[in-house]
Amino acid sequence: MGIRDKGLEIRLDAVQRRFGERIVIDGLTTRFDAGEFITIVGRSGCGKSTLLRLLAGLDAAQGGQLDADGRPLKEAIDDVRIMYQDARLLPWRSVVNNVALGLAGKRDTVRALALEALSQVGLVDRADEWPGNLSGGQRQRVALARALVHRPRLLLLDEPLGALDALTRIEMHRLIERIWREHRFTAVLVTHDVSEAVVLADRILLIEDGRIVLDQSVELARPRARGDAAFARLEGQVLDRLLTVRTLEQRNQIRGRVSAIRTGDVLAEVEVEITDHEGRRDKVISTLTLRNLREHALEVGSEVLTVFKPNDVALALVDVDDNTATPLRTGERAVA
Amino acid sequence: MHETAISWQRTAISWQRLKTGIRQRLRGHGALPWLVPVLILTVWQVTVQAGWLSTRILPAPWAVVAAGWELLLSGELLEHLGASTARAASGFVIGGGIGFFFGLINGGYRLAENLFDTTLQMVRNVPHLALIPLVILWFGIGEEGKLFLVALGVFFPIYLNTFHGIRSVSPDLIEMGRSYGLRGWALFRQVILPGALPNILVGVRYALGFTWLTLIVAETISATSGIGYMAMNAREFLQTDVVVLAILLYAALGKAADMVARALERRWLRWNKSFLAA
């Protein structure tokens, strides 16, 4: 195994990406070791997919540095392959020709390479079918083979299992883990499924508002059993952290005190008085359901954190002792 | 009495069997769709033969067949058929080629779209057959005018559908192609063109329809060969059988062209489930 087959070592230094005024990736600094399996978790809109697109070279950073093996990542971009949420197979090409996409060389050699990659994902018997005849899980396996055939040194996975059923996901976890152990590439998986992250990762990164707020290494032996106590504990920790809103140093959050609660038959309006560090005052109103209100110890005078989202004002109850806050689920209005 | 009842029942059963038998046979051999046309032809032949319908108005179907046979033997039919087909083909290639070219560049480049699309959309709204007087002034009554008209008729369906086809290729697939190292010509040939092909072929089918429509009109203005010329000539001599023959030939040619287009669709779009059944 030559140096060519080893995973890329990635360094990110103060990487920034803005869309207009909105900062999506905010001075992100971290390092992925060669051959490491990283999973990135976070709520939707936290910037995790944007980070992956930066790593794939599909999007350019506006500040900071992305390096691979000490050189700019751009120069190593041919060693990077990405798997998307949907398989993105070309429907007019047979399965084997989809896998061969972008391979140069003699027809026979290319086909042999593609067939070999297909056999690794167990689909060699479907090689000459149209992608339209495959199930969702099979399509993602073809997409995996298409990425593998290029012998990537950095494989990026952008929630590739999100649309699959639970059983197929578990099969895919095993497949991805086996292939990663064989090829030793560096893998970066973006997911919103914490248990998926714990199954696969050497390290779990939690991203919130474009920054890494948790960097948790996973020391469990592979292959990992979901029922295991240590597994469950770790999964619980990460989930808790994911549900907890950080209280300090956030640009879109302000602390305040409940000044009035007006209840109707179904909804409740909570008026919060906000004071900034210069002593200026303002008032903001957040709406939640009456049922939701009763579940929390929210009363006039409670200390809360107001979180400003693009179309919503959410509240979180502040625990003064450890300076964390538990969100009131106002965002989940779709749930009856 | 009891026995009579049984024999009635038997008759009823065998009648039922006969009916389903006929139905199955018609369906099994694909003959059912042809039942109505055959019926119409028979009624037509009978009414003309009985003298209820003047041959000046409509010749008997058999007379049309006979006229066709006669013209085939004299070689005239093939000559006219060849002339018309050559006009249709060259007009289609010229107009379709230009339409395809503009569809590609306007679909692929914003600058080209901004530059040309508005102009083309304005020209599109002129019915091309309305240009006939002008075309005669420009090109005279020779071949060029006819080619020009056919090409113009073919241009727009090909242009519009190619343009739309290129635009409707999924940006996700293009992005995927790029991230797998495809650039320029390779990206176009492997991702963009196949993605646009279903639309382009719809354009081809429309264009073929326009080709024959334009040709019918163009050949009746002034020509010395072609099916249209044959029809106009026959009108002068009150040969209604040849006129009807010409009309039927146009229909057959149109159908043949459509079958070619369908065959192309089945060949090139076999990955697409909706074309497998067709």
* CB within 8 Å: A130 and B175: no
Whether pLDDT at A331 is above 50:
no
**pLDDT band at residue B11 under the 50/70/90 scheme:** low
Give DSSP secondary structure letters for A115-183: HHHHHHTT-GGGTTS-GGGS-HHHHHHHHHHHHHTT--SEEEEESTTTTS-HHHHHHHHHHHHHHHHHH
Contacts of residue A86 in chain B, CB cutoff 8 Å?
172
Nearest CA in chain A to B181: A102
Which of B147, B130, B136 lies closest to B94, judged by CA? B147
pLDDT at B2: 53
Structure tokens at A23: 């900062």
Longest CA–CA span in chain A (Å) reads: 75
Contacts of B195 in chain A (CB under 8 A): 92
> pLDDT band for position A228 (50/70/90)?
confident
Among A83-97, A112-126, B147-161, B220-234, name the one with the lowest average pLDDT: B220-234
Least Cα distance to A271 among A284, A282, A280, A281 occurs for: A284
Distance CA A283, CA A269 (A): 12
Which residues, at least 6 apart from A15, have a Cβ–Cβ distance to it below 8 Å? Answer: A25, A27, A28, A29, A51, A54, A61, A63, A64, A65, A66
Residues of chain A with CATH 3.40.50.300: 3-243
- Nearest chain A residue to B270 by CA: give it: A92
User: Residue B151: exposed, middle, or buried by beta-carbon count in 10 A (0-12, 13-18, 19+)?
Assistant: buried
**How distant is the Cα of B197 from the closest Cα of chain A, in angstroms?**
10
Q: Which of A62, A33, A38, A68 is nearest to A50 (CA)?
A: A62
Indicate yes or no: CB of A84 within 8 angstroms of CB of B172: yes
pLDDT tens-digit map of A111-125: 999 999 999 899 999
Give A57's contacts in chain B (Cβ within 8 Å).
179
Q: Specify the CATH number of the domain A253-327.
A: 2.40.50.100
Q: What length does chain A have? A: 336
Average pLDDT of chain A is 84
Residues forming CATH 2.40.50.100 domain(s) in chain A = 253-327
Q: Mean pLDDT highest for which of A22-26, A262-266, B156-160?
A: B156-160
Residues of chain A contacting B182 with CB distance shorter than 8 Å? 101-102
Write the pLDDT tens digit of every residue in B105-114.
999 888 998 8
Give the three-state DSSP class for B145.
Answer: helix
Q: Which one is the CATH code of B75-276: 1.10.3810.10, 1.10.3720.10, 3.40.50.300, 1.10.260.40?
A: 1.10.3720.10
**pLDDT at res. B25:** 62
The domain limits of chain B are: 2-49, 75-276
CATH class of A3-243: alpha beta
d(CA B257, CA B209) in angstroms, rounded, equals 8
